[in-house]
């Protein structure tokens, strides 16, 4: 019993905290991963969610994040090149999927033909949401799909932009926008759409949503930061990531 208590004390004494900038699409998985991470290691992950582009600007301006979980692979590479991330720590933790989603059933078909509608109002669609392409990789992907389908002129009057894919999801979930491009992870679990109707966009229609993690300069000597990056590559984290529709 004494040995067990001593072990607990040792774990507590070694535990630390890590501040993590997390792309908004990864909100649900990382919340689960952070709980498991704390239970398994004693370390605590302090999570901030937002657009990758906004995090890039904040990190450039000295924001004390120790780890970045980006929605692309370009931003971590750029930070590494600029000396703001630790060389050799970058890896792809997930590949995201884009989905066109309505909170209402039977609005979105399984090929995205709804985007070609000549009378959106008749379908009850007044706004179509995407994430800001200047800040969010999922917004870039959404614009690529729109261009691939040749429906820019058709939907341009309806488009509204969220600062991040998290805000875009909020627009659609509150039905301030009746249709929107969101992350599959926001609307599904175990391969099942949890509400409404959706089209999972073929990956061939947009640039791959490879999402990279990287240790930032502020986290170089942070044991919790290094432990989290290692944990993300382990079986427990991978199982959670897959549940939310990401590829590894």
Residue 153 lies in a domain: yes
Q: Which domain holds residue 33?
A: 2-95+209-243
Q: By the 8 A CB rule, do 193 and 187 touch?
A: yes
Residue 109 lies in a domain: yes
Q: Does one domain contain both 129 and 54?
A: no
Residue 248 lies in a domain: no
Residue 140 lies in a domain: yes
Residue 220 lies in a domain: yes
Residue 29 lies in a domain: yes
Specify the pLDDT at position 248. 87
Q: What is the pTM of this model?
A: 0.89
Give the CATH number for residue 149: 3.40.190.10
Q: Does one domain contain both 126 and 143?
A: yes
Q: Does one domain contain both 9 and 85?
A: yes
Specify the pLDDT at position 10. 40
Q: Does one domain contain both 105 and 195?
A: yes
Q: Does one domain contain both 76 and 134?
A: no
pLDDT tens string, the chain, 248 residues long: the values are 444 343 344 444 467 999 999 999 999 999 999 999 999 999 999 999 999 999 999 999 999 999 999 999 999 999 999 999 999 999 999 999 999 999 999 999 999 999 999 999 999 999 999 999 999 999 999 999 999 999 999 999 999 999 999 999 999 999 999 999 999 999 999 999 999 999 999 999 999 999 999 999 999 999 999 999 999 999 999 999 999 999 98
Residue 167 lies in a domain: yes
Residue 130 lies in a domain: yes
Q: Does one domain contain both 132 and 187?
A: yes
Q: Does one domain contain both 15 and 52?
A: yes
Q: Does one domain contain both 175 and 154?
A: yes
Q: Does one domain contain both 102 and 87?
A: no
Specify the pLDDT at position 156. 95
Secondary structure in 3-state letters for the chain: CHHHHHHHHHHHHHCCEEEEEEEHHHHHHHHHHHHHHHHHHCCEEEEEEECHHHHHHHHHCCCCCCEEECCCCHHHHHHHHCCCECCCCCEEEEEECEEEEECCCCCCCCCCHHHHCCCHHHHCCCCEEEECCCCCHHHHHHHHHHHHHCCHHHHHHHEEEECCHHHHHHHHHCCCCCEEEEEHHHCEECCEECCCEEEECCHHHCCCEEEEEEEEHHHCCCHHHHHHHHHHCCHHHHHHHHHCCCEC
Q: Does one domain contain both 177 and 112?
A: yes
Q: Does one domain contain both 102 and 164?
A: yes
Specify the pLDDT at position 14. 63
Tally of domains within the chain: 2
Q: Does one domain contain both 142 and 179?
A: yes
């Amino acid at each position: 019993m004494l040995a067990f208590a001593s072990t607990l004390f040792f774990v507590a004494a070694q535990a630390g905290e890590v501040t993590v900038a997390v792309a908004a699409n990864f909100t649900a998985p990382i919340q689960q991963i952070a709980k498991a991470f704390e239970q398994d290691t004693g370390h605590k992950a302090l999570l901030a969610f937002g657009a990758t582009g906004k995090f890039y600007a904040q990190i450039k301006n000295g924001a004390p994040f120790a780890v970045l979980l980006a929605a692309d692979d370009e931003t971590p590479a750029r930070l590494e090149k600029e000396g703001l991330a630790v060389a050799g720590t970058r890896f792809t933790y997930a590949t995201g999927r884009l989905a066109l989603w309505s909170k209402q059933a039977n609005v979105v078909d399984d090929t995205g033909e709804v985007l070609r509608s000549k009378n959106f109002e008749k379908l009850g669609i007044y706004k179509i949401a995407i994430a800001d392409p200047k800040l969010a990789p999922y917004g870039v992907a959404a614009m690529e799909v729109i261009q691939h389908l040749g429906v820019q002129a058709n939907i341009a009057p309806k488009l509204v932009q969220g600062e991040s894919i998290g805000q875009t999801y909020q627009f659609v979930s509150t039905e301030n926008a009746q249709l929107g491009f969101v992350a599959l992870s926001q609307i599904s679990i175990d391969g099942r759409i949890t509400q409404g109707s959706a089209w999972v966009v073929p990956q061939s229609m947009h640039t791959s949503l490879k999402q990279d993690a990287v240790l930032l300069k502020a986290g170089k000597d942070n044991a919790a930061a290094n432990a989290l990056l290692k944990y993300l590559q382990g079986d427990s984290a991978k199982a959670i990531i897959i549940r939310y529709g990401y590829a590894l």
